[in-house]
Copies of this chain bind each other. A is one copy, B any other.
């Protein structure tokens, strides 16, 4: 590769910016950290950053931009957060009122962008370790309260995977190495122990009855901060649309535990 060849992450972001990729970021640019986005007015930024600090398992903050700047200068210095995510969810008074592929028209000088590590980042390492990531996976609300900060509050949201016992052990080992992408599982076994309601996943149909010899394994999920921002009923905020994360230029190995 010549020194000036773009990174795979840069190539994909360009495709997104130019509208040629509009779907999920899952499976794209393996090996680069993906981030959930929360973009909100500066007046709420302290409480939101504090919420993330108090709930690091679900909200691992990787970068916060200066107010008004759409450039994540540490994680992707050539990117523009107004155009480089494939799909954005626009919230008004806590309600998702529309999705957009570009938020340039909505940009304001007081907007602060939070880049929060996404579980999509560890799909690659899990797959390489023989743990399937593309099926038998659900996003569920629990009854475990997060620690509030200002108006931000709500229950922990988790990603549940059905794994074999051996896969569960391997997945625990692998994800422990990625503390900035939700890290190790927060629970293993009985969903009722954390109040996870299998009849009502946040996306898609109810969870089917579990096959024999399957272990449910639960990770803190990046939908948690988005849900906390909904609960805060902010007049205005913007998030990535679920599964449409922002792709950074940071190699995921660079953020591993030693």
What is the interface of chain A, defined by CB distance below 8 A to chain B? 42, 45-46, 49-50, 53-54, 61, 63-64, 74, 147, 176-177, 179, 184, 257-258
This protein's copies in its complex: 2
Which residues of chain B are near A45, meaning CB under 8 Å? Answer: 46
Which residues of chain B are near A176, meaning CB under 8 Å? Answer: 258
Min C-beta distance of A243 to chain B, whole Å: 26
- Return the contact of A46 from the options B49, B74, B179 (Cβ within 8 A): B49
Which interface residue of A46, A184, A257, A258 has the most chain B CB atoms within 10 A?
A46
Q: How far is the CA of A65 from the CA of B244 in the complex (A)?
A: 34
Which residues of chain B are near A179, meaning CB under 8 Å? Answer: 179, 257
Sampled A-B contacts (5; CB under 8 Å): A45-B46, A46-B46, A46-B49, A177-B258, A179-B179
Q: How far is the CA of A46 from the CA of B64 in the complex (A)?
A: 11
Which residues of chain B are near A257, meaning CB under 8 Å? Answer: 179, 257-258
Which interface residue of A45, A147, A177, A258 has the most chain B CB atoms within 10 A?
A258
- Return the contact of A53 from the options B61, B147, B258 (Cβ within 8 A): B61
Q: How far is the CA of A36 from the CA of B74 in the complex (A)?
A: 27
Which residues of chain B are near A74, meaning CB under 8 Å? Answer: 54, 147
The 3 closest A-B pairs by CB, nearest first: A46-B46, A176-B258, A257-B257
Q: How far is the CA of A184 from the CA of B179 in the complex (A)?
A: 16
Which residues of chain B are near A46, meaning CB under 8 Å? Answer: 42, 45-46, 49
Min C-beta distance of A48 to chain B, whole Å: 9
Q: Is the CB of A258 within 8 A of B49?
A: no
Q: How far is the CA of A53 from the CA of B61 in the complex (A)?
A: 8
